Amino acid sequence: MIGEKKSLFSGMQATGNLTLGNYLGALRNWVTLNEEYECFYCVVDEHSITIRQDPAVLRKRARALLTLYIAAGLDPEKNCIYYQSHVSAHAELAWILNCFTYMGELNRMTQFKDKAAKHADNINAGLFTYPVLMAADILLFQADVVPVGIDQMQHLEITRDIAQRFNGIYGDVFTIPEVYLGKVGAKIMSLQDPTKKMSKSDENANASIYLMDDPDTVMRKCKRAVTDSEAQILYRDEQPGVKNLLDIYCACTGKTADEAVKEFDGKGYGELKMAVGESVVAVLKPLQDEVARLEKDKAYIDNIIKTNAERANYVATKTLRKVQKKVGFPERIR
């Protein structure tokens, strides 16, 4: 709780390109959350270097992500959108929390096991303590709710465990965060395997529509989407490919599944795919135009980066000072 409102924290990595699934399923629905919550959206560049990065690429992508959030409608006056590395309290609290986290707990993290297997030549200590930095992110802002996908649930659980352990020793220091279960958007599946979620890390580029895909690319990917041989456009689980296309169409047009099924009655898959592609372009084009406009306005974005980091820094430092005092660090002389 910060001030009057409950607080919401979300961290996002600037590695990989956001997909239509990220947008329709999450980002787009966050625009109005600031009415109910004090919202913090952090570009977690410190987490990104647990995997080796090209510095220039990381810097560019971090800025692109921050710009995209604003282009998507998150008002930077009402939401705090900032870089993790600009607020040193993240790293400082992470150190303290490291001392309240057990090796055994971290050893159970499935994401660590997956990433360690994938990057066997660079199993660094940061990769191992990644969840502790994530706990620090969340707890610094006394977040009541954290919107995360299923893949991050284990990290949210360990965050709660660490917070409860700390509170058990020192009293009520941290808010215990819950997963955000508010209005969730459409769940968009892969265009190539509609039983799998559309993912930014899919190796098959045709499986995902990226937010920055140009119209031709969007149309091509939609045309190549996997369907079935039933030759009928119905909204049902037995036809996951067609169902996914209808979900995308509905999410982009605001129509209901019933309306869409009526509209495509008697039509072929080719027509459906064209219509889906066009509906996606109609959503992405204004977003891309807004990104392009903002990218040109360097001073405006720079100012947001500065002022939002200041605000994040203020809130985070307040929690950090409390924690430092609790664990016995000497008081600052002012």
Angstrom distances, CA of residue 243 to CA of 22, 53, 237, 256, 334: 18, 37, 7, 12, 63
Alpha helices, H only, 171-297: 215-223, 240-253, 257-263, 269-296
Dist. CA 118–CA 314, nearest whole Å: 38
Q: Is 1 exposed, middle or buried (0-12, 13-18, 19+ CB in 10 A)?
A: exposed
Binding mask 149-168 for ligand TRP (x = CB under 6 A): ---x--x-------------
Structure tokens at 60: 């560019």
Residue among 13 and 167 whose Cβ is closer to ligand TRP: 13
Nearer to ligand TRP, 138 or 209 (CB): 138
Shortest reach from residue 116's CB to ligand TRP, in Å: 15
Q: Is 279 in the site for ligand TRP (CB under 6 A)?
A: no
Catalytic annotation, residues = 115, 197, 200
3-class DSSP state for residue 142?
coil
Nearer to ligand TRP, 159 or 244 (CB): 159
In the bound state with ligand TRP, the residue whose beta carbon lies nearer, of 128 and 300, is 128
Stretch that binds ligand TRP, among 70-78, 144-152, 204-212, 268-276 (CB under 6 A): 144-152
Q: Which of residues 44-103 bind ligand TRP (CB under 6 A)?
A: 44, 47
Output the six-digit token pair for 103: 């090796």
- The residue written with tokens 């002389």 in the block is 333
**Considering the complex, what minimum distance in angstroms separates the CB of residue 34 from ligand TRP?**
17
**Minimum CB–partner distance for residue 295 and ligand TRP (Å):** 24
- Hey, how many other C-beta atoms are within 10 angstroms of the C-beta on 319? 20
Q: Per rule CB under 6 A, is residue 138 in the interface with ligand TRP? A: yes
Which pair of tokens denotes residue 243? 């169902």
Which residues bind to ligand TRP, rule: CB under 6 A? 9-13, 44, 47, 134, 137-138, 146, 148, 152, 155
